[in-house]
């Protein structure tokens, strides 16, 4: 009947959609998951209707920087809102693990391992 729902294990958002961290700061002085222990972050207007893994199962947290993938770590999606008119997904997430810069570089090859042109560090 034409319904389309995308299932994801990765929250990939850009700054405009609510990505809260800064790579330059992280490379200079590493964030830790404890820095965000009691914080809940919003994301908005993710294209398409999507569902994510439910806590305690993790989702990968990826920043989209001009189409490049930057694997930051792991998150729990704690709330989802679907806009069926505009076909977008918004919600809330908690950061549960932050990759070190080395882990960030390694993650693309271990997790994504498709088009190397999508790698932020290439």
pTM for the model = 0.92
Locate all alpha helices (DSSP H) within the chain, ordered by sequence: 23-28, 101-107
CB 48 within 8 A of CB 68: no
- Report the pLDDT averaged over residues 15-44: 96
User: What pLDDT band is residue 1 in, cutting at 50, 70 and 90?
Assistant: low
Mode of pairing for the β-strands spanning 68-83 and 59-65? antiparallel
Residues 116, 6: Cα–Cα separation, whole Å: 24
Cβ neighbours for 121, distance < 8 A, ≥ 6 positions apart? 70, 104, 105, 108
Kindly report, residue by residue over 60-76, the tens digit of the pLDDT. Answer: 999 999 999 999 999 99
For residues 2 and 86, the model is more confident at 86
DSSP code for 114: S
Q: Is a pLDDT exceeding 90 seen at residue 112? A: no
Q: How far apart are CA 85 and CA 100, in angstroms?
A: 39
31-58: average pLDDT: 96
Between the alpha carbon of residue 16 and those of residues 7, 19, 46, 66, the distances in Å are 22, 7, 10, 11
Query: In terms of CATH architecture, what is 6-118?
Result: Beta Barrel (2.40)
> Hey, where are the domains in the chain?
6-118
pLDDT at 41 over 80: yes
């Amino acid at each position: 009947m034409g319904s389309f729902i995308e299932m994801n294990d990765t929250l990939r958002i850009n700054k405009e959609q609510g990505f809260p961290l800064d790579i330059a700061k992280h490379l200079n002085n590493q964030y830790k998951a404890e820095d965000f222990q009691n914080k809940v972050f919003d994301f908005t207007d993710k294209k398409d209707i999507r569902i994510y893994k439910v806590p305690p199962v993790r989702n990968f947290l990826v920043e989209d920087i001009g189409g490049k993938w930057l694997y930051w770590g792991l998150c729990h999606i704690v709330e989802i809102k679907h806009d069926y008119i505009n076909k977008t997904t918004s919600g809330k997430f908690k950061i549960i693990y932050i990759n070190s810069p080395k882990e960030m570089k390694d993650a693309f090859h271990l997790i994504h391992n498709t088009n190397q042109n999508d790698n932020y560090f290439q």
